[in-house]
Amino acid sequence: MTLSHDPAPSQSVGKRPQKSTKTASRRKVETAAADAPRFINRELAWLEFNARVLDQADDPSVRLLERAKFLAITSSNLDEFMMVRVGSLKLQAVSGGGRRDPSGRTATEQLQAISKRCQGHVDRQYELLRNELLPLLGEHKIIQVDPAECSDRLLAAAERHFRGDVLAVLSPQALHDRRFPMLPGLGIHLCVQLRPGDEIGPQLTPPPTDSLDNRVPSNLKRNSDTANHQPTPDENISAPEEGAEQTDPETQFAVIPLGRTLGRVIPLPIEKPPIEKGVAPKESDDTSPIESGYSYALLEDLVSHFVDEFFPGREVIQCKPFRITRNADIELREDGAGDLLGGMEEVLESRRLSDVVRLEIDANANSEIRDYLIKSFNVDPQFVFDIDGPLDLTYLFALHGLKGMNTLRDDEWPPQRSPRIDPAESMFTSISDGDIMLMHPYESFDPVVRLLEEASVDPDVLAVKQILYRTSRNSPIVAALMRAAERGKYVTAIVELKARFDEARNIEWAREMEQAGVQVIYGIRGLKTHAKVCIIVRREPQGLVRYVHFGTGNYNEVTANLYGDISVLRAMRYWGPTRRCSSTPSRGPANRNHFNNSAWRR
């Protein structure tokens, strides 16, 4: 039986009548507003997800260091949310007018709701840290020390570390009437308020003007319909006036960027209880956390306590940490861009110079420091967060990894060896016996690494074709590809340069592989290549055989121990030439064919 649908009398069977753009747009907005109760705002829904992660940190049934880790995860998640989603909304607020999302909110209304929700979220984070986690960690001899309130013994150890490892590395930068230095996002910096006097020691060399005007190259775009918009100076999302003059002649400011090389968590000797009379002291290993505990200070607290050392002869009124978050919602405009590698390098530079979308300040900072920073970075006041505790809670990840504290962490469940793979025989032999499926993280990712390492030195392997999206810092996969190329094998790799926040690492890997002789394709224009595929062409007595790995997870042996993914390993006879991985799709129109469609045939 054939079913048909007759058009309603009011419907035209011919061409649909044209509607005016203005009318269609108005109806779209009205429809969105009418349907608003049916939809939950995307950004607020994500914040509720992060709140559920925070619930894990607030759950007393979860082991203590796992609670600390969950709290660190919520902080890291919120950083990325601010960089990407809030950054995008701030641009939409300028260019989008009254456009509403499916929940019925404009960009401005979304920002207001996000600010209110985030303020409550941050308050809950730090209330949990102050009132529960830090006291409980202290009970287990994991003690965060404030140099301003510690014993003489700990203070002497802290001062030795400061003079030996910190003082010679950091350089304060005087501000006065000069431009504010271009500080990196997500780093912790100290703002120092001084009494007027002679010039502050190290002088600030103003950066080139071009590095401060935050202009985005013509082949870059924001991740919204704002590519051609030029913000005006009085708009909240405009380029920060990182050069605002001081208004109070009785005050001078300096900034000390702390950077990332020194390490934020500084170990200190643990305080030992006094020895009772007539009781022999118990022998213990001072280096063992489980015996003697773990005492530490944060770098910003250490530098703040000894900040006078940077300004001899000057009176420091106050020294407080702050942290900025810059808009990372900048992507490559690929239409007309002939060089993806150069374009992505410009994207990274533009992110470094982009607008400040969030400012976090120590809650005890005085009004002069607070107002000076807000004005200097031109931050929307609703995205200024007064933090009653350490800025950036990701330092808690370091505590989670402490040795000797196993009772405070979940039991480890190391990945198991697949029963289908004999560690004593070649991976090619194991795969030839039949298809192998691996369930990560329950089964080890090592067979995938072994396959590429064996291929790199096997004289019968002729070619390796690989897609890389995200890799580890010291990737054995990349090392195997370079080793194979250096041994004369044909190695081709698609390296996706547009993997968000891994762009710099992928650019570095791409260049190293090219130097080793790997043919590198810098992604495919108009697409993000998420496929996880490796094809190895091997000469065997029966002819050419392809050994294929494809999976759902990245070629990252570290995250493979954390995330749930599937890997499939298969061997098949060679079915003839294909066009995959043999062209340069980054230089032409998008090639939407599969990486190698004949690879899936037996």
pLDDT at 510: 79
Q: Tell me which CATH code domain 140-227+234-271+290-390 carries.
A: 3.30.1840.10
pLDDT band, very low/low/confident/very high, at 592 (cuts 50, 70, 90):
very low
pLDDT digit string (tens) for 188-235?
999 999 987 655 554 434 444 443 434 344 444 444 444 334 333 333
**Mean pLDDT lowest for which of 263-272, 404-413, 550-559?**
263-272
pLDDT digit string (tens) for 231-241?
333 333 333 34
Q: Where in the chain is the domain with CATH 3.30.1840.10?
A: 140-227+234-271+290-390
pLDDT at 170: 92
SS (HEC) of 371-433: HHHHHHHCCCHHHEEEECCCCCHHHHHHHHCCCCCHHHCCCCCCCECCCCCCCCCCHHHHHHC
Known catalytic residues?
530
CATH number (3.30.300.30, 3.10.20.310, 2.60.120.10, 3.30.870.10) of 427-600 reads 3.30.870.10
pLDDT digit string (tens) for 322-359?
999 988 766 666 555 456 666 666 665 655 666 889 99
pLDDT band, very low/low/confident/very high, at 469 (cuts 50, 70, 90):
confident
| Averaged pLDDT for residues 26-35 | 54
Q: Where in the chain is the domain with CATH 3.30.870.10?
A: 427-600
Residue 100 has pLDDT above 80, yes or no: yes
Q: What is the separation of C-alpha 185 from the centre of its chain, rounded to a whole number of angstroms?
A: 11
Quote the CA–CA distance of 266 and 271 in Å, as a whole number: 15
| Averaged pLDDT for residues 256-281 | 75
> From residue 587, how far is each of 365, 507, 518, 523, 580 by CA, in Å?
52, 17, 18, 10, 15
169 in helix, strand or coil?
coil
Residue 10 has pLDDT above 70, yes or no: no
pLDDT at 228: 37
Quote the CA–CA distance of 257 and 189 in Å, as a whole number: 4
pLDDT digit string (tens) for 61-91?
999 999 999 999 999 999 999 988 888 888 7
pLDDT at 36: 54
